[in-house]
A and B are shown apart, each in its own frame.
Chain A
Amino acid sequence: GAGVSQSPSNKVTEKGKDVELRCDPISGHTALYWYRQSLGQGLEFLIYFQGNSAPDKSGLPSDRFSAERTGGSVSTLTIQRTQQEDSAVYLCASSLGRGKNTIYFGEGSWLTVV
């Protein structure tokens, strides 16, 4: 597609359940990023992929959070045993890779944990 595509756009889940959020980057973009935005807050870095490897996982808030990327394209962010504080917008972004400065974001997945 023309832009970064994320699904689902909205997800309401019960506390304790697992959720998977999907990101389809812009075609040809080798770098992929996950960020989290809580209500009224700026964005918080979670993880960065270059190809299928993740050089920087420093932003993952706990071991309940994991992400993978296969085939150098689609990425999945998984949150296990969700907690209410996980409620946020999860934004995915992609870019052409190192040395390329324009990072394009998707519209986000709104997660609500009840």
Chain B
Amino acid sequence: AQKITQTQPGMFVQEKEAVTLDCTYDTSDPSYGLFWYKQPSSGEMIFLIYQGSYDQQNATEGRYSLNFQKARKSANLVISASQLGDSAMYFCAMREGPAGGTSYGKLTFGQGTILTVHP
């Protein structure tokens, strides 16, 4: 089974509207971390937001928030007030095991969602 599934190959949103990018994950490890990255056409991976499996509240970073539903194993990214500069590929990723464990550096990535923001 895929560890990280992003079911939306492409998404379109109007400027200034909110958009949700879906991510579901599969793990039997009780300790894990979930990441979202943005990859513009330049190729650089830009860290957006992190959610730990034991975090009680949903993570937020500016216009980005993570809708973490642990029982459903979903970690959707919500971008509020979309901007033209948000057009990019977005990747969801997971690290299994505790932050201090030997698997710390190994992120498993989804296939990505291409977001296009229309003016």
Contacts and interface: CB of A to CB of B under 8 A. Distances in A.
B57 interface: no
B102 interface: yes
A89 interface: yes
Interface string B84-118: 00000001010000011111111111111000000
Task: Name A's interface SS.
Answer: strand
Interface in A60-114: 89, 91, 93, 95, 98-108, 110
Category for how many chain B residues contact A: 20 to 34
B5 to A, nearest CB: 11
A49 B104 CA distance: 10
A41 B4 CA distance: 13
Contacts of A103: 35, 47, 105, 107
Contacts of B81: none
B103 A56 contact: yes
Contacts of B25: none
B61 to A, nearest CB: 10
B50 interface: yes
Contacts of A56: 102-103, 105-106
Interface of B: 4, 33, 35, 37, 42-47, 50, 52, 91, 93, 99-112
Interface of A: 31, 33, 35, 41-45, 48-50, 55-56, 58-59, 89, 91, 93, 95, 98-108, 110
